[in-house]
Structure 1
Amino acid sequence: MSSGVTCMVLMVALMFTSMWLLPTLYFIWLVIDWETPEKGGRRKPSVRRWKVWEHYRDYFPIKLVKTAELNPRKNYILGCHPHGIMSIGAFGCFNIECCGFSEAFPGMYVSLAILAGLFRIPLFRDYLMAAGLCPVSKASLSHLLSKSGTGNAVVIVIGGAAESLASHPGVQTVLVKQRKGFVRLALEYGADLVPVYSFGETELFQQVTFSEGSLGRRLQDLFKRIMGFAPCLFLGERWAILPSKTPITTVVGSPISVPQRITPTEEEVDHYHKLYMDALSNLFHEHKVSCGLSESHKLCII
């Protein structure tokens, strides 16, 4: 977000200088190009291979674990959990190439879906599209799952902003029970569902917690309703900003076969939603010990 704010400030500041023509022309272009993020964007593979991403991966480090094949003749919705403060595991494994997704799943075109409002920020939106990110909107996801052929793996961090408020070291809480839109989308386009769990994601920051009903929590909830994300107060390892050097292991589970239903019924949505939650729970418990958690650790699905 700091990069987005910097881009906005820069564009506004240039309007009051002798270089005012540059932002003026850009804003004209922005109006013309407004819908591009919803139509697949403009991915630049070289951006995903920047050398800096290797340092990003090695800082924690981040590791991708494959447990099953993904068929490039099909499309998939990968539900990633937990959100954590910044979804660092999801970004590292699905939006940069140095964690080996392309080698592990040849023929798959992976797109990480993020807050749609970020694609309205001047300049920053162009970086997001170049990096292969897409808006987590119905129009954008529908385009990727219906107009881009097969071999598409759309990654959605299911818990979103609300789940970030539940991110604390030692706690494994995911918000899934009331989130069924991704299952409905999978049924509408016949995209198989794949649970993904990033072990270590919640260990990266110490979050300042506000109790339910407190002024701080009400302000967080209000901001989330207006802006789409929740501002968190957190402390890292170095200078209280950098995340802790905690290994992140992102485990991609086995696909759940989903039929195509143009107008899925509530019973069908509930059925595949339950299959997904069960698969997520099994994935967590199967890999938790090998990924650094104790046998006694529980996954709380709310």
Structure 2
Amino acid sequence: MVSYVSLLVPQEPCLQTLAVIVWILGFLVLSPVCTIIFISLFFTRFWLLSILYSAWWYLDRDTPRKGGRQTKTMKQWCMWKYLADYFPISLIKTAELDPTQNYIAGFHPHGILATGAFTNFCTEATNFSSMFPGIRSHLMMLTFWLRLPFFRDIVMSMGLVSSDKECVSHLMSKKEGGNLLVITVGGAKETLDSHPGDYKLLLKNRKGFVKLALIHGAAIVPMFSFGENEIFDQLDNCQGSWLRSIQNRLQKIMGFPLPLFHGQGIFQDKFGLLPYCHPITTVVGKPIDVKQNTNPTQEEVDHLHQHYITELCSLFEAHKTKYNITPEQHLKFQ
């Protein structure tokens, strides 16, 4: 049975819902809209703007690989607080991060839209800077999106950076330290396994971030975001199904998957593109110290990777019962 929401609701929930709508639309349509505007300007009296932006775009082309260009104003925008309160989203610290060191953080799971990763590390909605003073957070995203006009400047202002190895090297080579590079290790492909109550992580063969940590001597921080998979429902697409086969083929062609998901509507709670109001709690684990080795062997990479998995499992097991996960449920790796 569908439950409908009364139109006579307090202002705060309305602002929270509006913030989520803006965020969802931004995620789904902002990049094509920016591209269309850029191209359309060439055919108007404002064509010079596109010419000037093109010149700027060319001169600024390496910025996404060099730490981006985040601004406090964008990260502290009041809308992000309403977005976080909608679920709500919270950030939990289990250990201090030394601001004189650099860190590579593995974020799990990706979820449908990496909601916890974006809100916690691209905005100040959960007070990241106050919780980790002296630490500057960056979140990696597919390089393709940072090549789109206007869109690239918007997302960079919130701390999003390119997923190129050059970006990791640039940030982790900063001798003054204080950089936290957050990587959704499972990547966009992991979205296809983002089902409520499911804890499958694409991690077994994802060792690139571990090797980069060894090369640069950056400590590795495990993170788990409880509730990340619960805010949307996804059509059944188990391995071997016709839907999963189509999604895998599309991913190979386009470079990113197309999960078929839904949440709730604006005025009813059964179907729509709004996420469910389910709490998301991102727990930041204790850093794993890494000794720099500019030419690590495969055995050393494998050893550190296994250590990381062990620490991630320990983090999950230590906190899962607080977030309605039964003792019988454990992380699964593929």
List alignment gaps of at least 5 residues for structure 2.
Answer: 1-27, 267-271
- 2:279 maps to a residue whose letter is P
When structure 1 is superposed on structure 2, of 288-297 and 57-66 the one drifting more is: 288-297
For residues 251-270 of structure 1, give each alpha carbon's deviation from its aligned partner in whole angstroms, at most 9, with x where no partner exists: 00011111100011111101
The separation in 2 between residues aligned to 1:122 and 1:226, in whole angstroms, is: 22
Aligned CA distance change for structure 1 residues 24 and 291 (closer, same or farther; 3 Å)? same
Equivalent of residue 278 in structure 2, options 217, 229, 246: 246
For residues 137-161 of structure 1, give each alpha carbon's deviation from its aligned partner in whole angstroms, at most 9, with x where no partner exists: 1011110101363011110000001
Equivalent of residue 153 in structure 1, options 180, 201, 208: 180
* Residue 259, structure 1, aligned to residue 259, structure 2: no
- The offset of 1:113, in angstroms, is 0.9
8 Å Cα contact 1:161/1:228 also seen in 2: no
- 1:78 maps to a residue whose letter is A
Partner of residue 15, structure 1: 42
Structure 1 residue runs of 4+, over 6 Å off?
Answer: none
What secondary structure, in the 3-state scheme, does the structure 2 residue paired with 1:144 have? helix
* Alignment root-mean-square deviation, CA: 1.4
Matches within 5 A, 1:154-233: 154-213=181-240, 216-233=243-260
- 1:238 maps to a residue whose letter is G
- 1:72 maps to a residue whose letter is P
8 Å Cα contact 1:115/1:228 also seen in 2: no
List alignment gaps of at least 5 residues for structure 1.
Answer: none
- The offset of 1:11, in angstroms, is 1.3
What secondary structure, in the 3-state scheme, does the structure 2 residue paired with 1:90 have? helix
What secondary structure, in the 3-state scheme, does the structure 2 residue paired with 1:225 have? helix
8 Å Cα contact 1:161/1:224 also seen in 2: no
The separation in 2 between residues aligned to 1:149 and 1:36, in whole angstroms, is: 20
Aligned CA distance change for structure 1 residues 133 and 150 (closer, same or farther; 3 Å)? same
Q: TM-score, normalised by structure 1?
A: 0.96
Q: TM-score, normalised by structure 2?
A: 0.87
What secondary structure, in the 3-state scheme, does the structure 2 residue paired with 1:290 have? helix
What secondary structure, in the 3-state scheme, does the structure 1 residue paired with 2:273 have? coil
**Overall identity of the aligned pairs, in %:** 46
Partner of residue 86, structure 1: 113
The separation in 2 between residues aligned to 1:25 and 1:218, in whole angstroms, is: 44
Partner of residue 306, structure 2: 274
What secondary structure, in the 3-state scheme, does the structure 2 residue paired with 1:289 have? helix
When structure 1 is superposed on structure 2, of 20-29 and 67-76 the one drifting more is: 20-29
- 1:155 maps to a residue whose letter is V
When structure 1 is superposed on structure 2, of 1-10 and 207-216 the one drifting more is: 207-216
Partner of residue 141, structure 2: 114
Partner of residue 74, structure 2: 47
When structure 1 is superposed on structure 2, of 279-288 and 35-44 the one drifting more is: 35-44
- The offset of 1:129, in angstroms, is 1.3
8 Å Cα contact 1:192/1:255 also seen in 2: yes
User: How many residues of Structure 1 are paired with residues of Structure 2 in the alignment?
Assistant: 302
- The offset of 1:231, in angstroms, is 1.2
